């Protein structure tokens, strides 16, 4: 038995010596106990491209001013067989997939599949094709030192990922990853599933998200395609969103375009020309230069709007500040509540809507529309002179008739009422509508 043990020890020494003869800039060090180490050093210019494929191992990206990439890896594992440990060490070596003058692609993945047996032992199929048995993988980790201005691309699954501030561009494809990163360069591309992320400041960015939560700093123009996710952005310029069942919180922004279902938007800064196409979604916002809004079963709760265009609206609630002008081409079962109006309001095809205009300015240009069922309340400025022209069937029309100095037409039957008149000859505000079974109040 002693001779067998001696032969086995000699074999390990031979294997160790053969490992030391490998290239020093890409090697898997001979295993010592249950700790395996691997390292790699390669040249890469300051603005070069680095691609890392990582799987089920912590990855930390640090920056330096050297035109090189250095990666140090460690694997802590509990294993019974020394033979399996040596096989694992070979698989744990860092692989160079592609190398050019300004581009380096590496792969840190060391196993293809993992099968646990009753929670006691695990069978690994290594990337070498061999199978081994381990008790436990305690920890797998990589630290990569890269040029600060390098362009970085990472494909990673099932791990934690930390990235220091870089000035180059970044592209991430992540699956079940916890990401913490600093700032990045002029462009960022984030394709993420089942992940969480804290992201610093950067340039123009694209997010493809599925069941992912992101908290980001100040970004440039942003495009988002998301599902079941949450995105917080401190500041952005133009924001374009396609969304399904998501939550968005945005600080400052220039403008927003959103096509969304079952989503919520909290916009905490004023915005420019914006567009929304919504289904069962809610928007909470500040002031807008203009909004184009088509929606069903949604709420819009914002401040002042310079120009408000509604191509189509169905069963929505509008809580608005002061509106410059409003044109709602088609409305059914809607509720409008305006704190004020400065320009003109047009409702050419309105069905069973409740419309409340709390106040108007002295420059209010008027209201026009066709109303079937529903209610309309319009509170005019006390000094407002206006022209009134309506035709009503059923319903009730209330207005200050004693103010009208000019009555061109006034007729009333049991079911119909028509009126045309002016409170002053030089009145510039025009209120003109037809209604059916609608209660209309002008004060």
**Last residue of a domain, which of 279, 303, 327?**
303
Residue 242 located in a structural domain: yes
User: Do residues 191 and 289 share a domain?
Assistant: yes
Residue with the bigger pLDDT between 410 and 188: it is 188
pLDDT tens column, 381-418? 999 999 999 999 999 999 999 999 888 888 888 899 99
Is the pLDDT assigned to residue 293 strictly greater than 90? yes
Residue 94 located in a structural domain: yes
Q: SS3 for 383?
A: coil
Residue 209 located in a structural domain: yes
User: Do residues 145 and 158 share a domain?
Assistant: yes
User: Do residues 162 and 174 share a domain?
Assistant: no
**Last residue of a domain, which of 303, 336, 359?**
303
Looking at residue 31, its pLDDT comes to: 47
Residue 10 located in a structural domain: no
Q: How far apart are CA 372 and CA 334, in angstroms?
A: 12
Residue 190 located in a structural domain: yes
Is the pLDDT assigned to residue 231 strictly greater than 70? yes
- Which are the contacts of 14, defined by CB distance < 8 A and separation ≥ 6? none
Looking at residue 33, its pLDDT comes to: 52
Instruction: Determine the average pLDDT of the residues in 290-297.
Output: 98
User: Do residues 321 and 417 share a domain?
Assistant: yes
Q: How far apart are CA 380 and CA 340, in angstroms?
A: 9
Highest mean pLDDT among 1-5, 87-91, 407-411: 87-91
Residue 1 located in a structural domain: no
Q: Let me know the angle formed at the C-alpha of 202 by 199 and 207, rounded to the nearest 5 degrees.
A: 65
pLDDT tens column, 6-55? 333 333 333 333 333 333 345 555 444 589 999 999 999 999 999 999 99
User: Do residues 160 and 26 share a domain?
Assistant: yes
CB 162 within 8 A of CB 146: no
Cβ atoms within 10 Å, residue 255: 19
Cβ atoms within 10 Å, residue 414: 6
Residue 427 located in a structural domain: yes
Cβ atoms within 10 Å, residue 18: 10
Looking at residue 114, its pLDDT comes to: 85
DSSP 8-state secondary structure symbol assigned to residue 227: E
Instruction: Determine the average pLDDT of the residues in 272-279.
Output: 98
Alpha helices by DSSP H, listed for 211-254, are none
Instruction: Determine the average pLDDT of the residues in 295-324.
Output: 98
- Which are the contacts of 234, defined by CB distance < 8 A and separation ≥ 6? 216, 217, 218, 251, 252
Q: Let me know the angle formed at the C-alpha of 400 by 398 and 404, rounded to the nearest 5 degrees.
A: 125
User: Do residues 159 and 32 share a domain?
Assistant: yes
> Element (H or E) spanning 147, and its range?
strand 136-147
User: Do residues 299 and 350 share a domain?
Assistant: no
Cβ atoms within 10 Å, residue 14: 10
β-pair partners for 204:
187
User: Do residues 30 and 65 share a domain?
Assistant: yes
What domain range is 407 assigned to? 317-443
Looking at residue 412, its pLDDT comes to: 84
- Asked which of 118-122, 331-335, 364-368, 380-384 is least confident by mean pLDDT, the reply is 118-122
Instruction: Determine the average pLDDT of the residues in 293-297.
Output: 98
pLDDT tens column, 69-84? 999 999 999 988 899 9
- 424-428 long-range contacts, CB within 8 A, separation 24+: 424/385, 426/385, 427/385, 427/386, 427/387, 428/365, 428/385
User: Do residues 325 and 286 share a domain?
Assistant: no
Instruction: Determine the average pLDDT of the residues in 231-239.
Output: 98
Helix, strand, coil percent values for the chain (each to nearest 5):
5, 65, 30
Residue with the bigger pLDDT between 340 and 27: it is 340
Looking at residue 394, its pLDDT comes to: 96
User: Do residues 272 and 299 share a domain?
Assistant: yes
Residue with the bigger pLDDT between 30 and 228: it is 228
User: Do residues 164 and 263 share a domain?
Assistant: no
Q: Is 431 exposed, middle or buried (0-12, 13-18, 19+ CB in 10 A)?
A: buried
Residue 7 located in a structural domain: no
Q: What is the total count of domains within the chain? A: 3
User: Do residues 325 and 401 share a domain?
Assistant: yes
Confidence at 175, pLDDT banded by 50, 70, 90: very high
Q: How far apart are CA 443 and CA 432, in angstroms?
A: 15
């Amino acid at each position: 038995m002693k001779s067998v043990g001696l032969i086995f020890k000699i074999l390990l020494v031979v294997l160790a010596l053969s490992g030391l003869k490998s290239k020093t800039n890409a090697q898997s060090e001979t295993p010592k106990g249950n700790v395996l180490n691997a390292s790699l050093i390669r040249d890469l210019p300051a603005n070069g491209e680095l691609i890392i494929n990582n799987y089920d191992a912590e990855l930390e990206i640090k920056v330096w001013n050297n035109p090189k990439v250095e990666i140090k890896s460690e694997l802590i594992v509990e294993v019974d067989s020394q033979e399996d440990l040596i096989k694992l060490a070979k698989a744990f070596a860092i692989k160079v997939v592609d190398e050019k003058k300004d581009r380096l692609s590496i792969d840190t993945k060391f196993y293809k599949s993992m099968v646990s047996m009753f929670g006691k032992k695990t069978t690994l199929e290594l990337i070498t094709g061999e199978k081994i048995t381990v008790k436990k993988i305690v920890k797998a980790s990589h630290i990569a030192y890269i040029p600060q201005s390098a362009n970085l691309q990472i494909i990673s699954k099932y791990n934690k990922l930390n990235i220091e501030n870089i000035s180059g561009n970044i592209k991430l494809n992540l699956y079940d990853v916890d990401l913490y990163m600093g700032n990045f360069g002029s462009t960022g591309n984030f394709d993420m599933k089942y992940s969480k992320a804290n992201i610093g400041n950067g340039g123009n960015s694209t997010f493809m998200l599925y069941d992912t939560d992101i908290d980001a700093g100040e970004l440039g123009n942003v495009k988002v395609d998301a599902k079941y996710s949450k995105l917080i952005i401190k500041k952005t310029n133009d924001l374009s969103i396609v969304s399904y069942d998501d939550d968005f919180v945005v600080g400052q922004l220039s403008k927003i375009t959103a096509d969304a279902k079952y989503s919520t938007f909290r916009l905490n800064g004023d915005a420019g020309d914006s567009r929304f196409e919504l289904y069962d979604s809610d928007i909470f916002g500040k002031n807008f230069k203009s909004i184009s809004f088509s929606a069903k079963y949604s709420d819009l709760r914002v401040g002042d709007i310079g120009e408000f265009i509604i191509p189509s609206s169905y069963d929505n609630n509008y809580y608005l500040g002061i509106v410059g002008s409003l044109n709602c081409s088609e409305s059914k079962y809607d509720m409008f509540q305006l704190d004020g109006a400065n320009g003109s309001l047009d409702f050419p095809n309105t069905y069973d809507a409740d419309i409340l205009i709390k106040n108007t300015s002295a420059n209010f240009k008027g209201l026009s529309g066709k109303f079937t069922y529903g209610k309309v309340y319009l509170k005019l400025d006390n000094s407002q002179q206006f022209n009134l022209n309506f035709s009503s069937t059923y319903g009730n029309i209330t207005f200050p008739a004693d103010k009208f100095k000019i009555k061109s037409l006034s007729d009333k039957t049991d079911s119909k009422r028509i009126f045309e008149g002016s409170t002053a000859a030089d009145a510039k505000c025009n209120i003109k509508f037809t209604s059916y079974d609608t209660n209309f109040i002008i004060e």
